[in-house]
Chain A
Amino acid sequence: MSIDMSQFYQVFFEEAGENLAAMESLLLELDVEAPDLETLNAIFRAAHSIKGGAGTFGFSDMAEVTHVLETLLDRLRKQELAPTVEMVDAFLQAGDVLKSQLQAHQEGEEYEDSRVTEVCRHLERLARADNAEGDVPASSAGETQPAGTVEAESSVTHWRLAFEPAGIGQGTPDERRALFEALGELGRIQDIGTGETERCLWQLTSTAGRGAIEEILAFVCEPGQVEIDTIETLEAPAETEAETETAYGFFTDAPGLQGDAAFGEAASAPAPDQDELGYGFFEGAPGTEYGAEERTGASDSTPDQTQAFGFQAEILESDGYGFFRDAPGTEAAIDQEHSGYGLFGGSPGMDRVAAVAHQERLDDERGYGIFNSAPGSPESRLDDDASAPISTAASPAKSAMERESRAGNAPKRPATADSSIRVSVEKVDQLINLVGELVITHAMLADSAAGLDPVVHERIMAGLSNLERNSRDLQEAVMSIRMMPISFVFNRFPRVVRDTAASLGKRVTLKLIGEDTELDKGLIERLADPLNHLVRNSIDHGIERPEARLAAGKPETGEIVLRASHRGGSVVVEVSDDGAGLNREKLLAKAAKQGIPMPDNPSDKDVWQLIFHAGFSTAERVTDISGRGVGMDVVRRNIEDMNGRVEVDSTAGRGTHITIRLPLTLAILDGLSVRMGEEMFILPLTVIQESIQPRAEQFKTIVGKGRVVQINDEYLPLVSLHDVFSSGRPEPNLLDGILVIVETNEGRAAVLVDELVAQHQVVIKSLETNYRKVEGVSGATIMGDGRVALILDVDALVRLSRRAGG
């Protein structure tokens, strides 16, 4: 393999990350009581893809963990074991370990932690835990097998015991027989290697675990003196006894493999490989047996040992992933059973495409279907049973495979799904900037053409209106590149809720609504932390313990709802729980204690706002989840940084409802342009509530200075842009202006402007690129006439105005 794999690392990281996330969400979906085979298969495939990638790229630590994971998963999906909550927990832990490993690799480090071995052991133990349901499982595997293949022996394990009789005090044949019989009580035992040699080789086919065998051995010797290996745990169930024996003999005779720890691995690794990505991708050796052996592990009926050893050696050498063994050969066709991988099989030009195809695969996980039409790979071969006419030589192999693929039931990835590409965010941003320029240029053109006579310049006008439509469409299309469904954030919450609730001893279900709602990728990333905080808060403070809930006449299990929706030009994300709600008295008492000034008769809204104060926590005790009082203020700041706002609504005993309102994107803003003197400003539409023509009696002053406006029984602070931006000109008559009522984080305020001009979609430009932050202004934009307009930040305006007034 002379290709430098490191250039594909990033692809692997992304893929593995996605697979891990997929695996996690599937695990959480999994109903332990009634496991869905399809879900199990999907989990298995995700694990398997990770293993494949990890192996290929040489991240053996990840491959090891996934291998163990996969072993257990494989037994689950074959229904040899029934999933338990413990297993799901173990899987989730393994997923966490893998994530840490992945991250370590991404940073170019190795992940070292005792957790790794711990998790592996746990999984191994679970995988070995034999349940007595040996008879249940085979059905799904069995039915797809050709007649006469089998009596199902699902949960049996084939153990290979190797020892030197003299060494363990079993020198005489009689003694040996006694041990032989003792072991025979566990299952079927066969002597397969004892003869003239010094070494005894027994094969035990039993449902017993290693522990049981060791126990028996312990009567006669130190368990360490006997090498016990598992042989093809995974394959065993489906094979006929005879086949297994053949296989066994074949492997044990392999020079240099005896007692090799890698043996078990080598023998079992190929088996699960069949359903998924990558493994044995292009192999299809000239000799038909190659493929067959790899597929079926060791069950081939006509083992050509020389070849087989060659293969085996190769496997050991390359960690078991036979990626590039690309030779034109009929066996490759067998690959086709597996959801379209190995589409190249049987194609005459296979050697040539193989390398390309490999690239393709790395470039795009879903790109397998690309060469569908490659000569020599007829569509029909995609079918599960298509292998029948193809593989003539290795019928046992084929049948085993057929079973595999059916049992695995790998859903075909549709060939159309490969139409996605990975593009760096910078490129997309550059595109967005350019389109923004185009929109501005159009606005300028339209502006200068406005004076032309539409009759005389009809073609210019028509061209301009076309340009407008096209650039608007273009803008929308480009913006949509950055749009992602909010499920990218939401999907982590089932896990968060599960873990948090479990650690707090509460029962909580999570309901996700509107996961398809799309918003800007940049926002999605920045939304994750605040949401995480809110959800954990809800579980910790909101949802009561089961007893308390029952006592309050509520169902024992609390519910948290995460809902996303588009409302107007913004995205609304709501987090609501049916917990205890906020406690008004407690909040007020705490505020008094901390010296936070509160009005005499504060509205609920004012009180709820208290939770956003830094250092404010009503939790009686600090947990590792929340209660330190840092958090809500950070949540609010994060959301305000995104030009969004947070609202809290709560009813004691009924629950709390937190609403986050966000703009669709960070790059474009819906705004209202307002004029003050000769300057134009943009007010974000999200903050505007209404605008009114003021009457003289609405203006009042307080101690002659602070000015307020009376609007519907409410006195709002008056913010005059003239004052704040000290235009230097005398303030025009108040009554000539327009009051825009805006919502700030300190309540409503009235902004006095000269005129409302128009509503625009403006491209947000940072002032900080070449200048610095300006108070009261959140950014700038370029208007149709090419001039710069400042985008107002109403929260800061109110602060500025207060400072100017006070």
Chain B
Amino acid sequence: MNDERREGSAVATDSAREYLTFTLGEEEYGIDILKVQEIRGYDAVTKIANSPDFIKGVINMRGIIVPIIDMRLKFHLGQVEYNEFTVVIILNISGRIVGLVVDGVSDVIALRGDQIRPAPEFGSVLDTAYIDGLATLDERMIIMVDIEKLMTSQEMGLVDQTHLAVA
């Protein structure tokens, strides 16, 4: 499966890459679809003590223990009740499996490199280090996130390194 996808994307590289878009409140985000392993509903999690609030806990995914991250909390978009539309995007980032809780998955889109524009600097108001750029599709603005960089970053504390809690 993965190989097929990869081949497909290889053909598409010069023209376009595919992105999975999801919504968080009013905003729409896009991530590289090759990092996505599967999409599933939200299950009860097991909380982990003394972890940042955006880490909801861990779940059992067919015998694998997977940490679950609430992107709303991570991006400070306020708390939302989880409902039947709440989905978890399971990412596979260089062998590590992580789940993202998002409000909903909207689409798979193909974008060419020139369709993604650099995001403006927000200075200290907003850290744009993990934002690749902005894309426009049918009047919608999609925020392209470098999910790998974000997930392996120190502030996520997902990977064992000197953990710095996000203020």
Contacts and interface: CB of A to CB of B under 8 A. Distances in A.
A8 interface: no
Contacts of A773: 160
Interface string B24-64: 00000000000000000000111111110000011110111
Interface of B: 44-51, 57-60, 62-67, 96-98, 157-161, 163
A777 B49 contact: yes
Interface stretch (A13-21, A684-692, A764-772): A764-772
Contact of A437 (B58, B63, B98): B63
Given A788-B58, A788-B60, A771 B46 contact: no
Nearest to A786: B60
A724 B159 CA distance: 22
Contacts of B49: 724-726, 774-777, 790
Contacts of B50: 725-726, 774-776, 800
A464 interface: no
6 contacts: A440-B63, A726-B49, A771-B58, A777-B49, A788-B57, A790-B46
B11 to A, nearest CB: 31
Given A679-B47, A725-B50, A787-B46, A772 B157 contact: yes
A773 B65 CA distance: 13
A768 B65 CA distance: 9
Contacts of A765: 63-65
Contacts of A774: 48-51
Given A679-B46, A767-B65, 19 more contacts: A433-B63, A437-B63, A726-B49, A726-B50, A765-B63, A767-B48, A769-B96, A770-B96, A771-B65, A772-B159, A772-B163, A775-B50, A776-B50, A780-B58, A780-B65, A782-B63, A787-B46, A788-B65, A800-B50
A770 B44 contact: no
A37 interface: no
A484 interface: no
Contacts of B46: 679-680, 780, 787-790
Residue of A433, A680, A786 ringed by the most chain B CB atoms within 10 A: A786
Residue of B45, B60, B158 ringed by the most chain A CB atoms within 10 A: B60
Given A777-B49, A786-B60, A788-B59, A768 B66 contact: no
A766 B50 CA distance: 18
A796 B138 CA distance: 54
A436 interface: yes
Interface residues of A, number: 31
Interface in A770-806: 770-777, 780, 782, 786-790, 800
B67 A771 contact: yes
Contacts of B158: 771-772
Contacts of A776: 49-50
Contacts of A766: 65
Nearest to B157: A772
Contacts of A440: 63
Nearest to B44: A787
A40 B71 CA distance: 72
Given A787-B44, A790-B48, A770 B67 contact: yes
A768 B97 CA distance: 11
A757 to B, nearest CB: 15
A681 to B, nearest CB: 10
Contacts of B163: 772
A768 to B, nearest CB: 7
